[in-house]
Amino acid sequence: MGRLLKLPEKHAETTETFVFLEEGHTLGNALSAVIRDYPSVQLCGYTVPHPAENKINFRIQTTGENATEVLRRGLEDLEKICDITIERFEKAYENFKVKDTSMDTT
Protein backbone atom coordinates (compact mmCIF):
# COMPACT_ATOMS: atom_id res chain seq x y z
CA MET A 1 0.00 0.00 0.00
CA GLY A 2 1.14 3.54 -0.73
CA ARG A 3 1.28 6.41 1.70
CA LEU A 4 -1.70 7.60 3.72
CA LEU A 5 -2.39 11.26 4.51
CA LYS A 6 -5.12 12.82 6.62
CA LEU A 7 -6.56 16.10 5.38
CA PRO A 8 -7.03 18.83 7.98
CA GLU A 9 -10.65 19.10 9.16
CA LYS A 10 -12.49 21.78 11.11
CA HIS A 11 -15.03 19.23 12.30
CA ALA A 12 -14.81 16.80 15.18
CA GLU A 13 -12.74 13.61 14.97
CA THR A 14 -15.88 11.83 13.81
CA THR A 15 -15.52 13.23 10.27
CA GLU A 16 -12.25 12.76 8.40
CA THR A 17 -10.93 12.66 4.85
CA PHE A 18 -7.92 10.48 4.14
CA VAL A 19 -5.81 10.40 0.99
CA PHE A 20 -4.35 7.07 -0.13
CA LEU A 21 -1.47 7.65 -2.55
CA GLU A 22 -0.68 4.98 -5.15
CA GLU A 23 -4.13 3.41 -4.71
CA GLY A 24 -7.31 3.30 -6.77
CA HIS A 25 -10.72 1.73 -7.10
CA THR A 26 -9.59 -1.72 -5.91
CA LEU A 27 -8.83 -0.55 -2.38
CA GLY A 28 -11.47 2.19 -2.32
CA ASN A 29 -14.37 -0.06 -3.25
CA ALA A 30 -13.37 -2.97 -1.00
CA LEU A 31 -12.58 -0.80 2.03
CA SER A 32 -15.73 1.30 1.74
CA ALA A 33 -17.83 -1.88 1.48
CA VAL A 34 -16.34 -3.14 4.77
CA ILE A 35 -16.59 0.15 6.67
CA ARG A 36 -20.09 0.98 5.43
CA ASP A 37 -21.47 -1.97 7.43
CA TYR A 38 -20.25 -0.66 10.81
CA PRO A 39 -23.18 0.54 12.95
CA SER A 40 -21.56 3.86 13.91
CA VAL A 41 -20.82 4.87 10.29
CA GLN A 42 -23.14 7.45 8.74
CA LEU A 43 -21.17 8.00 5.55
CA CYS A 44 -18.27 6.22 3.92
CA GLY A 45 -17.12 6.71 0.36
CA TYR A 46 -14.21 7.51 -1.88
CA THR A 47 -13.43 9.47 -5.01
CA VAL A 48 -10.65 9.36 -7.54
CA PRO A 49 -9.92 13.08 -8.03
CA HIS A 50 -8.70 12.68 -11.61
CA PRO A 51 -8.04 9.61 -13.80
CA ALA A 52 -4.43 10.70 -14.31
CA GLU A 53 -3.80 10.78 -10.56
CA ASN A 54 -3.06 7.53 -8.78
CA LYS A 55 -4.77 8.37 -5.49
CA ILE A 56 -8.13 8.22 -3.76
CA ASN A 57 -9.82 10.54 -1.30
CA PHE A 58 -11.56 8.43 1.34
CA ARG A 59 -14.17 10.03 3.61
CA ILE A 60 -15.64 8.65 6.83
CA GLN A 61 -18.34 10.22 8.99
CA THR A 62 -19.55 8.52 12.18
CA THR A 63 -22.16 9.08 14.87
CA GLY A 64 -19.50 9.43 17.56
CA GLU A 65 -16.66 6.99 16.98
CA ASN A 66 -13.25 8.36 15.99
CA ALA A 67 -13.01 8.19 12.18
CA THR A 68 -9.30 7.32 12.28
CA GLU A 69 -10.05 4.31 14.49
CA VAL A 70 -12.84 3.26 12.13
CA LEU A 71 -10.37 3.40 9.22
CA ARG A 72 -7.82 1.35 11.20
CA ARG A 73 -10.46 -1.28 12.04
CA GLY A 74 -11.63 -1.34 8.42
CA LEU A 75 -8.12 -1.95 7.12
CA GLU A 76 -7.60 -4.74 9.66
CA ASP A 77 -10.93 -6.37 8.78
CA LEU A 78 -10.20 -6.11 5.05
CA GLU A 79 -6.82 -7.75 5.62
CA LYS A 80 -8.53 -10.63 7.47
CA ILE A 81 -11.02 -11.03 4.62
CA CYS A 82 -8.15 -11.19 2.11
CA ASP A 83 -6.27 -13.74 4.23
CA ILE A 84 -9.35 -15.98 4.46
CA THR A 85 -9.97 -15.64 0.71
CA ILE A 86 -6.38 -16.64 -0.12
CA GLU A 87 -6.51 -19.56 2.33
CA ARG A 88 -9.77 -20.90 0.85
CA PHE A 89 -8.55 -20.43 -2.71
CA GLU A 90 -5.33 -22.33 -2.03
CA LYS A 91 -7.25 -25.15 -0.35
CA ALA A 92 -9.69 -25.39 -3.27
CA TYR A 93 -6.80 -25.35 -5.73
CA GLU A 94 -5.03 -28.18 -3.90
CA ASN A 95 -8.27 -30.20 -3.86
CA PHE A 96 -8.65 -29.58 -7.59
CA LYS A 97 -5.10 -30.74 -8.30
CA VAL A 98 -5.67 -33.94 -6.28
CA LYS A 99 -8.90 -34.69 -8.17
CA ASP A 100 -7.28 -33.84 -11.50
CA THR A 101 -4.36 -36.23 -10.96
CA SER A 102 -6.63 -39.02 -9.70
CA MET A 103 -8.67 -38.81 -12.92
CA ASP A 104 -5.56 -38.99 -15.12
CA THR A 105 -5.54 -42.48 -16.69
CA THR A 106 -2.56 -42.15 -19.01
CA–CA distances in Å: residue 2 to residues 19, 27, 55, 70: 10, 11, 9, 19
| Residue ranges in the chain whose pLDDT is less than 70 | 1-2, 103-106
Distance CA 17, CA 61 (A): 9
pLDDT for res 15: 96
pLDDT for res 106: 55
The pTM of the whole model exceeds 0.75: yes
pLDDT for res 67: 97
In a domain, 16, yes or no: yes
- Residue 41, classed as helix, strand or coil, is strand
In a domain, 93, yes or no: no
CB 19 within 8 A of CB 56: yes
Domain that holds residue 63: 4-81
- Those residues whose C-beta lies under 8 Å from the C-beta of residue 19, and which sit 6 or more positions away, are 4, 5, 6, 7, 55, 56, 57, 58
Number of structural domains found in the chain: 1
pLDDT for res 8: 87
